[in-house]
């Protein structure tokens, strides 16, 4: 483009090339277009330097969620565990009848005879109440377990009730697998139980084979609550109460956290 000078001469003036429409002055694309118009090359911008960093995932949120999940599982276990333990204890209390720590031979013992042997009953004086019969074995080592012989049969007769040998008394079976105890080399497990009035009773025992062990007359499991069902209910209530207390404590700790 030419323009007139002061003396009437024309001078060639280089006019800046305009930027194409729609390009921003500060954009690399605009600079490229301007360079193309002027014949100058423009270096390509470094995409790695100009590209914004990709968002980095925060590990805190998943870890917090996992921790919260583990905490929730722990709370549930803490709530359920007392109830489950109480249920097992309540059922055991009802079946056994109390704590199996009573004196198992307080009222004497009788030797076990063979099937063809002459009966040798042991007479004992008892007060009115419930009594347990136990199989007792001596000479046990720490690795041994007490085990009643096969075919063990115990007979209890009420001598004062009349009759030649007394009146038979019903003996209720108590499974030996419910509990057993061992002190030093002496072990015992329950065999049965019976009710007695005040008086004299004759107890005899036979087994095949015989020759080891004896049957003892002792006290029933310790039960300060009366009927076993009462103790079972109390144990269950304690378990429920503990679960409620643990649940409330967990909620309080969660809110404070």
What DSSP assignment string belongs to 43-102? Answer: PPP-HHHHSPPPPPPPSHHHHHHHHHHHHHHHHHHHHHHHHHHHHHHHHHHHHH-SBS-S
List the domain range (segments joined by +) for residue 251. Answer: 71-96+229-256
Pair type for strands 172-173 and 186-196:
antiparallel
Residue 126 pLDDT class (50, 70, 90 cuts): very high
- Contact indicator for 66, 178 with CB cutoff of 8 Å: no
192 and 89 within one domain: no
189 and 206 within one domain: yes
177 and 245 within one domain: no
Instruction: Please report whether residue 217 resides in a domain.
Output: yes
Tell me, what's the pLDDT at 101? 79
Q: How many domains does the chain have?
A: 2
Instruction: Please report whether residue 16 resides in a domain.
Output: no
Q: What whole-number distance in Å separates Cα of residue 86 and Cα of residue 92?
A: 10
Tokens coding 12 = 């060639």
pTM for this model (two decimals): 0.57
Tell me, what's the pLDDT at 158? 94
200 and 121 within one domain: yes
Tell me, what's the pLDDT at 63? 53
In degrees to the nearest 10, what's the CA dihedral of 137, 139, 143, 147? -20
Instruction: Please report whether residue 91 resides in a domain.
Output: yes
Question: Three-state SS string across 8-52, please?
Answer: CCEEECCCCCCCCCCCCCCCHHHHHHHHHHHCCCCCCCCHHHHCC
146 and 117 within one domain: yes
249 and 166 within one domain: no
193 and 251 within one domain: no
119 and 214 within one domain: yes
pLDDT in tens, 97-115: 888 778 889 999 999 988 7
Between residues 26 and 136, which one has the greater pLDDT?
136
- Find how far residue 245's CA is from the centre of its chain: 18
């Amino acid at each position: 483009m030419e323009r007139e000078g002061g003396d009437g001469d024309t001078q060639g003036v280089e006019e800046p090339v305009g930027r194409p429409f729609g390009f921003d002055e500060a954009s690399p694309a605009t600079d490229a277009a301007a360079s193309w118009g002027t014949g100058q090359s423009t270096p390509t911008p470094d995409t790695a330097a100009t590209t914004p960093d990709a968002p980095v995932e925060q590990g805190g949120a998943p870890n917090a969620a996992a921790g919260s999940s583990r905490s929730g599982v722990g709370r549930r276990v803490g709530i359920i565990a007392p109830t489950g333990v109480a249920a097992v204890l309540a059922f055991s209390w009802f079946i056994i009848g109390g704590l199996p720590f009573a004196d198992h031979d307080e009222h004497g013992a009788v030797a076990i005879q063979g099937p063809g042997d002459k009966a040798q009953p042991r007479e004992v004086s008892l007060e009115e109440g419930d009594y347990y019969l136990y199989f007792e074995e001596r000479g046990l080592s720490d690795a041994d377990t007490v085990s009643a012989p096969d075919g063990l049969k115990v007979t209890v007769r009420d001598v004062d009730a009349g009759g030649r040998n007394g009146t038979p008394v019903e003996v209720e079976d108590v499974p030996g697998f419910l509990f057993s105890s061992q002190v030093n080399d002496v072990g015992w497990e329950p065999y049965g139980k019976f009710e007695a009035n005040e008086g004299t009773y004759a107890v005899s025992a036979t087994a095949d084979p015989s020759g080891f062990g004896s049957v003892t007359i002792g006290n029933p499991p310790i039960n300060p609550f009366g009927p076993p069902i009462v103790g079972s209910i109390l144990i269950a209530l304690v378990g429920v109460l503990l679960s409620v207390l643990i649940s409330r404590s967990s909620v309080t700790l969660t809110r404070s956290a």
